[in-house]
A and B are shown apart, each in its own frame.
Chain A
């Protein structure tokens, strides 16, 4: 393998990490609060707003059921508005983030709904405000679930980032398609696959460790 190819692989790995990191971060920034809201805004809950809940739920479902590659193309005007351009790594981050928000939101919603409702009641009985219940009870107790949700999100993002080659996003997936497949360089393809496997493994085991650390539910007496 020539030095040029090795350079390309390193650069593509960097692009993948960059896209995943930014999309993951910004996606969490919007996705976690959205998930909390979805989990607490039905009738009789902390922030009752059943109509808003239903509308947001619909939007989340719509975004999640759109195939990612179609989402990338469909939102090009929006991408141009945010990133100033519709091609390149930075532009690719926009659809990646947009797909991440509802993904995280649903997972966070599930982990928060799994928190025993008795705990919220106990906090209410102590005189906690809804915000205090969110931060001191719901988010604190859902931490293992949220850690697992973020792990799953990052793993999925690594997969999604392979598709943004379609808009010149670069990254490992793009390299694999253009060099490994179209130029028929099986060694490049093999390296790309191995790097992706290693990345996913690292993220998964780090996430699992974090979730275990947060989880105090099954400690031996």
Chain B
């Protein structure tokens, strides 16, 4: 793939340290209300959003459907206007702009969509050429821009194919090439992998990751899929009911998972969900002779240390692994293990203290006889 042939504005400005520090996107107390009709009350889609997207990062916004994700991402390129608050893109307040000045801003922001939104009447080449035609480039300039983009997304042999002749993954690759055509500094991804199968999702995420790394392009994506955030996002914001409930580095947010919404989103992750055979027998009260069920959270380096084995050898506590796995979040190992310990209250306290001493948080889930 020919990355060198594609320059972006992100690279051009990367050397200025002051601009480097400023975020690419900044939401300041942004709210959005929709009037649902003449008689009915207003619907609050977004409520007091404060959010920053660091320059050069991949930032993910995750939330259930109806949480306000789509509205949020549309505020960044002015497809929606905030009811109050400001949205700054690369230092400019775009919420104050009129439609006409927004057009030139939008040419510096690429966007990809869940349903690709390719023109059925245009070939792959002509779809990628569309934003360049809109910007008024001549045919020769368009040709020299589109050809390397087709190569970048691995579709050089499909240049004259129509969208209906392409698979879902190929369509999204055309979508990505089209979004990159005007050499944007920011790429918005609106559930770009939600209509794709897991394998295609992985290949599209790998492409986005590569684009972020090699072109230095800032990526802001919204999704309801934990998998997407886990794989490529450096930063994450969890949105629920129109509010950001947690934000920070992906690893920190997901390993601390303090907010119930974050927990709910994580429930698909191995080790978060308790197997049925356990939940059906579990009680909240400790009883004599009962085994304590605890969840041990492994973070970073600790995920590879044999802590549970040492629990047995050093404290003489019998440990039984019930469920869980070691996974990877934002490139760092992370594990959740549900284990049962044959231990009374005293021993249990000792065991948890031992784990904590070695950097492993744990929580007591219940007791099983």
A: residues with CB less than 8 A from B are 116, 118-119, 121-129, 132, 136-137, 140-141, 143, 214, 216-221
B131 touches A216 (CB 8 A): no
Contact of A118 among B102, B117, B134 (CB under 8 A): B117
B117 touches A217 (CB 8 A): no
Give residues 78-107 of B contacting A (CB, 8 Å).
79, 102-107
Which one of B160-168, B227-235, B330-338 is at the interface?
B160-168
A140 touches B109 (CB 8 A): no
B28 sits at the interface (CB 8 A): no
B144 sits at the interface (CB 8 A): no
B165 touches A126 (CB 8 A): no
Which residues of chain B come closer than 8 Å to A219, judged between CB atoms?
162, 164-165
Bound complex: CA A143 to CA B182 (Å): 27
Contact of A143 among B121, B131, B167, B178 (CB under 8 A): B121
Which residues of chain B come closer than 8 Å to A141, judged between CB atoms?
119-121
Contact of B79 among A116, A119, A121, A217 (CB under 8 A): A121
Residue of A nearest to B182 (CB): A126
Q: Using A118-B117, A126-B131 as known contacts, say yes or no to A216 and B164 having CB atoms under 8 A apart.
A: yes
B278 sits at the interface (CB 8 A): no
B130 sits at the interface (CB 8 A): yes
Bound complex: CA A140 to CA B121 (Å): 7
B287 sits at the interface (CB 8 A): no
B111 sits at the interface (CB 8 A): yes
Bound complex: CA A123 to CA B103 (Å): 10
A123 touches B134 (CB 8 A): yes
Extra contacts besides A221-B164, A221-B165 (20): CB < 8 Å: A116-B115, A118-B117, A121-B113, A123-B130, A125-B77, A126-B111, A126-B130, A127-B104, A127-B105, A127-B106, A127-B134, A127-B135, A132-B134, A140-B121, A214-B121, A216-B120, A216-B162, A216-B163, A217-B120, A219-B165
Contact of A218 among B77, B106, B115, B164 (CB under 8 A): B164
B133 sits at the interface (CB 8 A): yes
B209 sits at the interface (CB 8 A): no
B122 sits at the interface (CB 8 A): yes
